[in-house]
Amino acid sequence: MKLKCRPEDFRVEERLDLRTRRHGRYSIYRLEKRGWNTLDVMRELRKRHGLRQLGRAGLKDRHSLSVQYLSATGKGPAFVSGKGYHLRLVGMRDEPIRPGMLTGNRFTITLRSLTSDEAKLVAKAFPTVTRDGLPNYYDEQRFGSARHGKGFVAKRLVRGHNNGALRLWLATPSAADDSRTRSRKTNLESVWGDWARCQEYADPEGAPVFRHLLQHPRDYKGAVQRIPREMVELFVNAYQAWLWNETLASVVERSVGATVRRRYLLGSFVFPGAPAAGEVRYLRKLSIPVPGPGARFTSDRVAACMASVLAREGVELGGLKTKVRLNGGRFKPIRRPALVRPIRADHSKPANDEMHSGRLRMTLSFFLPSGSYATLIVKRLMLG
């Protein structure tokens, strides 16, 4: 099976609680993009088109055809376009777009290069998954800042390892990086400590850090404080998400009789195999706080599982805070459902795949609430 052979094979469209009018302080845009992740296209819009104070509801990766909504201060142009993206003004409002406005996403996904057995597996598993749901793990996209496999930037910030956190962010290449990024990070890694030369290889995001270190070579705390807020939030969210995944995997193992597993970059997704009705009801009613100071538990089982995960990490709930005060560095203990169920779901019959001779394709369509991952649905279906 192959996924995301082309952007049109993975279409995602935001659904927002959004009302616009003819006048207001913010322009509201419908953004359609391919080949861009959300943060990169926002930087492009600031730099090339002068759009300011951009607000967004969700984050979409570059390996998709995605439709989402942005806000910008003032009355902006009716149309904005560039290679791989275009925006259309849909109205005005007095408040910017924020993450809390996102109600969910509608997905249309084409699976390609399926064997006959794989197509049968998907067709058989799809009704069960849409009926019972599946554990609501964060998928691997959430862990982009840790895809080098060397750990989490936020974990080092929690421990006060500021130099290590900076090096992990700026100078640790991964196999998943494109050749240009990998080369730049490798160069940074080789000259780390020579701040003048580091500036030659730095991304715009890292430039303020190296400028500061050029003037204050040992002030890693001050350098960390110059990490952009959006990046700090991504680092914190990635570490929280992994801790939550580990907690949920432990809860599933303790709550159901039979399980199936799927390895991923940083651990394993544990799914119920053939859960009994009572096991499904228990998981469906369960919500688990994302770990952070002030988290509250309604289940002793969940509390014990999270305590065990945190003990392995050498930290307690109250200690999940960066040693340096950072914009975007708060570990917010939001609650997240343990189980998610795709709704308004359907799938096509297998058909010949025009891109892969002798193989089949199938199209899945469904809606997921905000924060849930369509790619996880695909992974679960392929386990049968």
Catalytic residues: 61
Residues facing residue 135 across a β-bridge:
339
What DSSP string describes 133-149? -EE----GGGGGGGTTS
CB 174 within 8 A of CB 148: yes
CB 359 within 8 A of CB 96: no
For residue 106, the SS3 value is strand
In angstroms, the CA 302 to CA 111 distance is 35
Q: How far lies 377's CA from each of 115, 327, 347, 380, in Å? A: 19, 34, 13, 5
Q: Which residue has the tokens 């960390």?
A: 224
CB 358 within 8 A of CB 94: no
The alpha helices in 202-290, defined as continuous H runs, are 207-215, 220-224, 229-255, 277-285
Residues facing residue 112 across a β-bridge:
2
In angstroms, the CA 50 to CA 38 distance is 17
In angstroms, the CA 217 to CA 204 distance is 19
What angle (nearest 5°) sits at the alpha carbon of residue 82, between those of residues 16 and 13? Answer: 20
